[in-house]
Structures are given as C-alpha cells and as structure tokens.
Amino acid sequence: MPDQHANAASSLPASGLPDDARLDAAWARIRGRLREEVGEAEYRTWLRQLTLAGIEGEEAVIHVPSRFLRDWLRGQYGDRLRALWQAESVGVRRVDIRVAAAPGALRGADAPAAADGADLAEPLSATRPASEARVEAPKPEPRGDWAAPLDPRFTFDSFIVGKPNEFAHACARRVAEKPNSPGFNPLFLYGGVGLGKTHLMHAIAWAIREPQMGGPGRSVAYMSAEKFMYRFIAALRSQSTMEFKESLRSVDVLMIDDLQFLIGKDNTQEEFFHTFNALVDQGKQIVVSSDKPPSDLAGLEDRLRTRLGCGMVADIHATTYELRISILESKAASAGVDVPARVLEFLAHKITSNVRELEGALNRLIAHANLFGRPVTLESCQEVLHDILRAHDRRVTIEEIQKRVAEHYNIRISDMSSARRARNVARPRQVAMYLSKQLTSRSLPEIGRRFGNRDHTTVMHAVSRVAELMQGDAGFAEDVELLRRMLET
Ligand SMILES: Nc1ncnc2c1ncn2[C@@H]1O[C@H](COP(=O)(O)OP(=O)(O)OP(=O)(O)O)[C@@H](O)[C@H]1O
C-alpha cells in the first residue's frame, strides 16, 4: 500500500537507495521469477511469506515470520535471492533474511504497487494466511502516486519512424505536446505484438512529465489495464473506492496499456468507463493502447467501445524491410558496435515477425561479439542466431526454387519439367532438384513429380551428382551456395 511504502523508505538509510518505485518493481519481478522457478505450491508454502523490509546500504533486508522459516530459506534460497537481486542492478549485493517480530510487511506480497503484475497470478479473492490478513485500508492515493516506472529507453528520440508507424507516431507527438487537442481525445493506439505500442505510450508519458517552461510537469497516471483492475479491486476490498476514483480523476493524463485485458472484466470496465467520462468531461487526455481496434474488442461493453473510438484511432502496422533496417541501424549505433550492413540486411530479411524479436537477435549478436572480442560477421551471425534463424526459416516452395534457378542459369522455367537433356538445361534442373531436397521437406518422389513427373531415382541421382560436382569445382559450389542463401532469405 502506498502509505506503507512511504514508511519503508523513510525508516531506512537513504544513501544509495534506489527510488521506491524501482525497488518495488525489482522485488515484484524477483518474486515473480521465484514463483516461476519453484512452482506455485512451493511458492505459496514458503516464499509468499517473504516481505521486503527495505535496503540497508547494499543489503536487501527480507523479513520472515519465524526462525524456522528464516533458517530454511537461508539454506535453500539465500544464494538464489542474492543472485536475483544482483541481476536487478539496483545496487543490492547481499541479502539478509531476518525474523520480524510482528510481520512488518512494508512491501509485502499483497502490496498492490507491484509493478509487473506478477502478483496478479494470485486470485485476489484467495484466502490468505493469517500473517497476511492484515490489509490496512489504503489512504487516498496522493496526486502523482500513479506514476508507474517508465522505461528510460522508450522515448520519442529512440523511436524510429517509418511508413508503418508514422501516423501513430504523429498522433502520439501531438497528444504529448498538446493534450486534449480537438479530435485527439481519447487517443487509441493499436497494433500487433511487439510493434512499439508500449514504447510510444512511454514516450508520451515521458514528454508529458517534462517540466513545462520552468514549472512542474503535468501528472500522468500510466498503467496496464491489468494493474488498473488490480488497484480497483484492492480499493473495493478496503472500501476505499471513493479515494481511488478521486485520485485517478486528479491526474492530467490517464494512460492505459493493453486495454484488451479488460475484456470480460465487467466491473472494472464499468469503473473505467466512469473514470473515462469524468476525465474527458474535465478536459483531461486519455490514451489507450490495445492489440485490436475498438470495433474488434468483442467483450467490451458497447458504450465503452463507442467512447473509445470517438477520438483518434491510430494503427501501428507490421514493419517493412526499410523500417527494420533503420531500427537495426539505430540500435547498433546506440550500442556502439560496428555491425556490417550485410548482417543488418540479413537480419531484416529473416526476422520479420516483430521488433522485439529483431532487437533480441541483434542484442544477442552484440553480446556475443563483446564477450569474445570478435567482430560481427555474417558467419558469426548465422552461428550465434542459429536457433532463432531456424525458427524464422521461410518455407521455400519448389516453384520458387525452380524460378530462381532458371533465372540464374538463364533458362526457361518450363525446362525444369521438360524432357530436354542438353547439358545447359539438365545441369540447372539438377541443381534445382538438389536445392529442393535441401530446402524443403518434400520427399524424393514428390520432387520428381514436380520436375515433369520424373522418377525418384532421377532426383536421387541429381542430388548426389550436384554434391559431387560441388566437391570438385569451387566455382560451381559457390554458385549453388549463393542460390541457397538467396532462397533462404
Ligand atoms: N519504431 C521503433 N523504434 C525503435 N524501437 C522500437 C520500435 N518499435 C518497437 N521498438 C522496440 O521493440 C520492442 C517491443 O516494443 P513494445 O514493447 O513497445 O511493443 P508492444 O507493441 O507494446 O508489444 P506487446 O503487444 O507485446 O505489448 C521494444 O524494445 C521497443 O523499444
């Protein structure tokens, strides 16, 4: 609860203390990770009783309710907890597990300010152990308490604009510069997975929080729809819904990420609808993101869908090759690593699904190069990203292979199936059969059928003949290899 957090921070030494929000987020992630690692049953039995009391110097102080539990946890989870804290990079190097006389849950497992929704995996209505039943009524949330941690990397400066996202980007800019512009309230951003919705949302929030001409920044309530629901339910449980509403309605801009989460959550939708209306009536800006346009959000109340769609609806489309290249160039440049253009082109050809995956692949490549002090090359890229690339392998068809090979050797496609046996036709046909065997999962008889109803033994002969020729003729081998790469990308 927010007031408890404030107490926690003030009761501990301030030196080197990361801000509360970062600590909360780190602790929520650590608990989420432990839960994943040990499984729900073990987590509930042992680990759910851990509470973060605070940070003392470089030490995270964890409270548990009994000596038995303390000793057991020190032995079983001490190292793991330390490693998880260290991985969070919030300045914690050690962990001390202590027995709290009365479980002083300063940032307990129930604290609704958990940043990543890890706690939501717990049914909110679940019966809680006695040690956790002490849920105090939250005080009214002060203005600004809604400030969720924003990712410092997600700014307008780092957002690369291209055809697929230029409209959404322009709308985002407009709202950030001038909230509640006519026709832009609400702003509804939507698009597929990993295409930059959250990045744009954070960029808007950062810009809105910027101090205005020497004065303070405007206040933004930014949260996922999941968290909105979580806080709403916490307020319901503690009979403080009035305060909840008031605190939300006191912000300048309300931003809700992944709105599709509210589908089927009728009470939360209802509350969101009222908050939405109250804010718009007061001239406050609303920004919402979702994976679908309002009209496709079946399961959302009609009146809410209508209201969501009556401002500006902006779509982030799937990336183009050009945009992927620009994003890769920018990310490589900001990492300060020299990645050859060929490698960037290769990645942009291969990983077309979404920006998150593209970025992940580049990061892995860069980490590998840094670790081994080797330059990034096309070969190292293929090696390091072997698994990712395989998952993204395009399904090449026999028709594509025939077309590409015919073009390369300057023969007619129809000759792939003709009965002509002249060497200048027969050899390319064999190469196409060889590549069909290498690059598709078709059987020999099936390949034979596609090459003018030839027998599978003909295909078998072609495959071994080409392999043999490649052994003895480097020029020929290079040719075939080039064709293979072209077909694979
Ligand atoms: N145009 C862009 N320029 C720079 N980085 C981008 C761009 N688009 C996406 N990214 C990066 O791709 C990653 C995924 O983006 P983000 O998390 O915003 O996607 P999302 O649409 O919110 O995904 P999800 O649907 O999973 O919530 C982030 O690291 C983000 O910075």
Q: Chunked in runs of 10, what are the mean pLDDT values of the chain (489 residues)?
A: 34 46 84 77 70 86 76 77 85 85 33 31 27 30 56 94 96 94 94 94 92 74 88 84 84 92 86 87 93 89 89 94 95 90 89 89 89 87 84 79 94 94 95 92 91 95 95 90 79
Find the residues whose C-beta lies inside 6 A of ligand 1.
154, 158-160, 165, 191, 193-199, 291, 327, 355-356, 359
3-state secondary structure of 411: coil
Q: Which helix (H) or strand (E) holds 362?
A: helix 355-372
Residue nearest ligand 1's atom 5 by CA: 159
Residue nearest ligand 1's atom 9 by CA: 196
Q: State the pLDDT at residue 123.
A: 25
User: Which domains are assigned to the chain?
Assistant: 2-113 (3.30.300.180), 163-316 (3.40.50.300), 321-391 (1.10.8.60), 398-488 (1.10.1750.10)
Q: How far, in Å, is the centroid of ligand 1 from the Cα of 143?
A: 29
Q: How far, in Å, is the centroid of ligand 1 from the Cα of 168?
A: 13
Q: State the pLDDT at residue 485.
A: 78
| C-beta of residue 194 within 8 angstroms of C-beta of residue 223 | no
Could you tell me the sign of the dihedral formed by the alpha carbons of 155, 159, 161, 167, in that order? negative
Binding site feature residues: 194, 196-198
Contacts of 133 (CB under 8 A, 6+ apart): none
Record the tokens describing residue 227, joined without a space: 């968290």
By most ligand atoms within 8 Å of CB, the mutation choice from 157, 159, 190, 195 for ligand 1 is: 195
Q: Which helix (H) or strand (E) holds 97?
A: strand 94-99
Residue linked to tokens 């509403």: 245
Q: State the pLDDT at residue 45.
A: 62
Residue nearest ligand 1's atom 31 by CA: 199
Residue nearest ligand 1's atom 4 by CA: 159
Q: How far, in Å, is the centroid of ligand 1 from the Cα of 359?
A: 9
Which ligand 1 atom minimizes the distance to the CA of 201? 18
Which ligand 1 atom minimizes the distance to the CA of 161? 1
Residue nearest ligand 1's atom 25 by CA: 193
Q: What are phi and psi of 54, to 5 degrees?
A: 155, -170
Q: Is the interface score ipTM higher than 0.90?
A: yes
| CA atoms lying within 13 Å on the CB side of residue 223 | 26
Binding site feature residues for ATP: 194, 196-198
d(CA 211, CA 82): 38
Q: How far, in Å, is the centroid of ligand 1 from the Cα of 318?
A: 11
Q: State the pLDDT at residue 259.
A: 93
Q: State the pLDDT at residue 137.
A: 31
Which ligand 1 atom minimizes the distance to the CA of 195? 21
Nearest CA-CA partner of 466 in 440, 434, 426, 444: 434
Q: How far, in Å, is the centroid of ligand 1 from the Cα of 355?
A: 6
Q: How far, in Å, is the centroid of ligand 1 from the Cα of 158?
A: 11
Q: How far, in Å, is the centroid of ligand 1 from the Cα of 482?
A: 33
Contacts of 305 (CB under 8 A, 6+ apart): 294, 295, 297
Residue nearest ligand 1's atom 23 by CA: 194
pTM, 2 dp: 0.58
